[in-house]
Amino acid sequence: MRAVVVDRWMEPSELAVREVPDPVVGPGQLGVEIRAAGCNFFDLLIVQGKYQVKPPFPFIPGGEIAGVVRTIGAGVEGFSVGDRVLASAPMGGYAERIAIPASFAHRMPDAMSFEEGAGFPIVYPTSYAGLVYRAELQAGGTLLVHAAAGGVGLAAVQIGKALGAKVIATAGGAAKLHIALEAGADVGIDYSEEDFVEKVKEFTGGKGADVIYDSVGGDVFDRSMKCIAWNGRLLVVGFAGGTIPSVAANRILLKNVAVVGLHWGAYAKYEPQRIPETFAALFRLYEEKKIRPIVYRAYPLEDVASALHALGSRKTHGKVVLAP
């Protein structure tokens, strides 16, 4: 099969497709023919050796896939050959085929395309678990979403709106703000032109945002503490800006603020029962047309370097997808 293979730390521009053996499907696993694979910011870091997880060489990157079940391993129940599934996986998505634990896979809604499915398994559960389980976003509350035109940002905007919140979106440039507003945001703030702190205060009548969804970190986190409401929750999802912030504890105290983290990948270890619950809730929202993955572009597998360059240069919105 064709696959993107990493045999040393390299720049994304050096990635190329090779012929490799098909994966072996073991007990408890599904063999899936990949129709689309989601690209994520952490993929860039993994191939460069800059991520907290450093897999042994050689490895195939890619943590989100959608495809068709072709092989069922011993002991697997509830799936049939031909099922359309989406799944997250530690590695292996940038390929034509993959073997994954059956517990990682979920049947796709009938109306969902493979490209949409590939943009679903990480960003939507991340945003749902963050907003519902950790930040306890309430209907009528105000949600501020940073980097709202990115994959997790758009998912947060859509889910926040579906939960009945008033959504404020920040993004860089008019085009990206338009995407966030089309996804359901009530207010858009161009952080390259405006001070989001003052705009959030203005929109909320000085109260501030009840929940702030931060996947950026750095200065964005610091300034968010200046426009968070009393009893507000600042949700830490990631550090796409490259800087891990620190917080002055007196700020937490003075406004009764909760700073909460979200590590969706750890739910498989600590709260596995939440995973099917989360996907069931998300699929209901999809069927109700309240959420929908927005795909920027589907690139051929051979164009993996171009796909990751577009993602890393912040030129994209929503999800970048590879289509083997």
Q: What pLDDT shows up at residue 194?
A: 93
Q: Are 31 and 89 in contact (CB under 8 A)?
A: no
Percent of the chain with pLDDT over 90: 90
Q: Are 171 and 147 in contact (CB under 8 A)?
A: yes
Q: What pLDDT shows up at residue 312?
A: 87
Residue 47: CB partners within 8 Å, gap ≥ 6?
6, 9, 10, 11, 12, 15, 61, 308
Between CA 31 and CA 81 the distance in angstroms is: 9
287-303 pLDDT, tens digit per residue, is 999 999 999 999 999 99
In this structure, how many other beta carbons lie within 10 angstroms of the beta carbon of residue 70?
14
Looking at the fold, whether 67 and 186 belong to one and the same domain comes out as: no
Q: Which residue is associated with the tokens 């993959």? A: 98
Looking at the fold, whether 108 and 219 belong to one and the same domain comes out as: no
Query: Does residue 242 surpass a pLDDT of 80?
Result: no
Looking at the fold, whether 143 and 67 belong to one and the same domain comes out as: no
Domain-located, residue 270: no
Which residues span the domain enclosing 174? 123-265
Domain boundary among 220, 246, 265: 265
The backbone region for 314, taken as left when phi is positive above 0, alpha when psi lies in -120 to 50, beta otherwise, is left
Mean pLDDT over 152-159 rounds to 97
Looking at the fold, whether 111 and 133 belong to one and the same domain comes out as: no
Looking at the fold, whether 253 and 132 belong to one and the same domain comes out as: yes
Between CA 207 and CA 200 the distance in angstroms is: 9
Identity at 49, one-letter amino acid code: G
Residue 215: CB partners within 8 Å, gap ≥ 6?
146, 147, 150, 152, 153, 237, 238, 239, 240
Q: Pairing relation of β-strands 97-101 and 29-39?
A: antiparallel
Nearest to 155 by CA among 296, 264, 291: 291
Nearest to 38 by CA among 89, 84, 97, 108: 89
Q: What pLDDT shows up at residue 71?
A: 98
204-221 pLDDT, tens digit per residue, is 999 999 999 999 999 999
Q: What pLDDT shows up at residue 76?
A: 97
Average pLDDT, rounded, for the chain: 95
Mean pLDDT over 7-31 rounds to 97
Domains: count for the chain:
2
Omega within 30 of 0 (cis) for the link into 109: no
Buried b (16+ CB within 10 A) or exposed e, 42-63: bbbbbbeeeeeeeeeeebbbbb
Looking at the fold, whether 203 and 245 belong to one and the same domain comes out as: yes
Looking at the fold, whether 184 and 229 belong to one and the same domain comes out as: yes
The pTM assigned to this predicted structure is 0.94
Q: Are 75 and 102 in contact (CB under 8 A)?
A: no
Looking at the fold, whether 304 and 250 belong to one and the same domain comes out as: no
Q: What does the block give as tokens for 67?
A: 């495809």
CATH code, domain carrying 86: 3.90.180.10
CATH code, domain carrying 244: 3.40.50.720
> How far apart, in Å, do the first and last CA atoms of the chain sit?
10
Domain-located, residue 283: no
Q: What pLDDT shows up at residue 251?
A: 87
Give the pLDDT band of residue 94 (cuts 50, 70, 90). Answer: very high
Task: Report the C-alpha dihedral over residues 52, 44, 160, 200, rounded to 10 degrees.
Answer: 90
Q: What pLDDT shows up at residue 306?
A: 96
